[in-house]
Amino acid sequence: MNAREAEAIERWRRLLGELPVAQLLGAEALAWHEDGERAEMAFAAPPSFCNLMDNVQSRLLTAMLDMAMAFSMICALKPDYVVPSTTLLGPEFALHNSSTYINRDNVLNTMTFGTIQPLASYPGATGTQPDWTALAALAGNPNALIDKLDALLLHGTMPAAMRTGLATAINAVAASDTVGRAKTAYYLVVTSSEYQVER
């Protein structure tokens, strides 16, 4: 273990000690490998975490996977990263650059307005498309659609200026195209800087 790996794992262990969910899941940081930005964690899953088939409940398992991914990401951050054109330290700003931001938006555009293509090796696969039914049902009332997306994606923190811009964009799509309105609103929210920043 090199010095950066040792510092990263110590930082993560301190964070785990402060997170009630980490204690609930019995999370333990074992190792972080800088070369592949790979994390190793252990979790204690008592019988109360299991379903009737004696398997760990899927949502608890998802929480464990989320924590392991966060561990790897946080360890990969360089604590001394300086935000370009400033003198401010901001390790989290090293995660995205112009290229990765555009790539992320392109994936979201494909997911929203197209289809994620099926695996050719999986017989009968049709690809992946979100179900827009619930959001399309609100598209006749832009404010109701915005309220729903604000609650689902921004935890009720959408700024007034963003709401106004979103309403303008929704109203630019024909009222008869409820799915188009839902997709447009969703895409604009998930590609916004407000969505990028965890609140």
Q: pLDDT tens digit string along 111-128?
A: 899 888 888 888 888 888
Tell me which residues of the chain have a pLDDT lower than 70. Answer: 36-37, 96-97, 197-199
| Residue-level pLDDT at 199 | 46
CB count in 10 Å sphere of residue 33: 15
- CATH of the structural domain 3-94, one choice from 3.60.15.10, 3.40.50.620, 3.10.129.10, 3.40.109.10: 3.10.129.10
Angle between helices 178-190 and 142-154 (to 10 degrees): 40
> CA distances (Å), 133 to each of 30, 36, 190, in order?
44, 41, 18
Global pTM exceeds 0.85: no
What string of H, E and C letters represents the secondary structure of 130-162? CCCHHHHCCCCCHHHHHHHHHHHHHCCCCCHHH
Tokens of 57: 């409940």
Q: Domain coordinates of the chain in residue numbers? A: 3-94, 98-196
Instruction: Note the pLDDT tens digit of each residue in 65-76.
Output: 888 888 877 777
Q: How far is CA 28 from CA 36, 42, 61, 68, 165, in A?
A: 20, 5, 15, 10, 44
pLDDT at 93: 73
| Residue found under tokens 């001394």 | 80
